[in-house]
Homo-oligomer: A and B are copies of this chain.
């Protein structure tokens, strides 16, 4: 634990980027059963599962207006102001992602463009458990609202008293999300996928969750529902040089390690002394955090590796494709163009991962488990479809029509060709 792996040869790198193996129980049979039951029995089945898994019998899942309205009173003014600040920053960044239509005349008389339309009905899943993730309400609710999604349904499990954490309620209400349902686990994803008397069937489901929720989201794909991205444990790769602040890097290391026992942190440097210093800070800081046991377990999945220079560290990072990448080095901007695969990148001494987790403005729903190679994090794009349009004039079809005829003919699709030929003939006739 916390040993430095010194100058491993490149041929061994791939063995060093193994993610913690996830014990994937085959939950499909259980998931299928719950989906089928809710498809047949609707809300009544949801009531049963909520009693079984959350230990509470609910008359109604829908959070009442009075629960929503009183949530604010249960938060401190300071926390309310903090949420407001985070909301503003996240809004600014996601509003900047709005794409304007841009009409392109590809040939004379042939105009093509794209327009965005919101995905109509969205489900947001917020896990229960110890940490009330109201920050995830901001990260998913804000772009959904900017996109103009019509229905935004938030599902989150109730506690044994049938209540939802007030910070989650307040944040949802602040964003104008009023359909909050006290449903958790597989039954939440199933209800959003098939629809019940209370729950509208949605087009896309977002949000983190445990292995049950993950298995249910995967199964939801069979119901023409889309999901945000494949799930995996959270991870961070830090690159430090001799100028790094060891105390800061150690704190970042632990902020990732406290997430869960399956979290992973990779720390790379070209400076052995700095690594030794960082390790000392980790060992002292870990004593001070309430989630010490979780962090210590996560540290077992983690690696500290000494490499010959920062370019080698970047090569290693690209091989790993981290969810979060902190460049705690001098002049980090110089290395940006070398980054090929990462979810979100934090440049320099004061850009800690916590900033992106909460309040800088970037989204914290990011690809994990190596999926930064082929997926983007959640953004405004995740909540819209881009529809292409084209308008072709008489001149336009005369310009491109003969080429279409030849190509359709070569693909042996004569009716495709005819659709052009009848138009060209009619234009020739008119002349």
Contact = CB atoms under 8 A, between A and B. Distances in A.
A216 interface: no
Contacts of A75: 410
Most buried by B among A295, A352, A387: A387
A355 B411 contact: no
Interface in A407-424: 407-408, 410-423
A360 interface: yes
B389 A345 contact: yes
A182 B75 CA distance: 64
B373 A119 contact: yes
B386 A418 contact: no
A22 B352 CA distance: 50
A336 B419 CA distance: 23
A114 B97 contact: yes
A367 B203 CA distance: 14
Give the number of copies in the complex. 2
Contact of A251 (B130, B354, B367, B418): B418
B97 A110 contact: no
Contact of A361 (B110, B343, B371): B110
A276 interface: no
A255 interface: yes
A390 interface: yes
Given A352-B419, A376-B385, A396-B350, A133 B255 contact: no
Contacts of A353: 416, 419
Interface in A376-431: 376-377, 379, 381, 384-394, 396-397, 400-404, 406-408, 410-423, 426
Contacts of A258: 413-416
Interface in A53-71: none
Interface stretch (A4-12, A82-90, A172-180, A308-316): A82-90
Contacts of A110: 89, 355, 360-361
A40 B381 CA distance: 39
B374 A411 contact: no
Nearest to A89: B106
Contacts of A92: 104, 106
Nearest to A395: B350
Given A82-B406, A418-B288, A426-B247, A377 B381 contact: no
Contact of A407 (B339, B359, B400): B359
Contacts of A73: none
Contacts of A89: 106-107, 110, 400
A350 B248 contact: no
Contacts of A417: 354
A164 interface: no
A204 interface: yes
A134 interface: yes
A341 interface: yes
A118 to B, nearest CB: 8
A226 B374 contact: yes
A372 B291 CA distance: 44
B107 A254 contact: no
Contacts of A18: none
Nearest to A348: B391
Contacts of A207: none
Closest 8 CB pairs of A and B: A106-B361, A82-B403, A89-B106, A258-B415, A82-B406, A251-B419, A203-B374, A347-B391
23 contacts: A79-B410, A93-B106, A96-B102, A97-B114, A132-B412, A135-B407, A204-B374, A248-B419, A251-B419, A254-B418, A255-B419, A288-B418, A291-B412, A343-B387, A350-B392, A352-B423, A354-B404, A354-B416, A354-B420, A355-B420, A357-B408, A359-B407, A377-B386
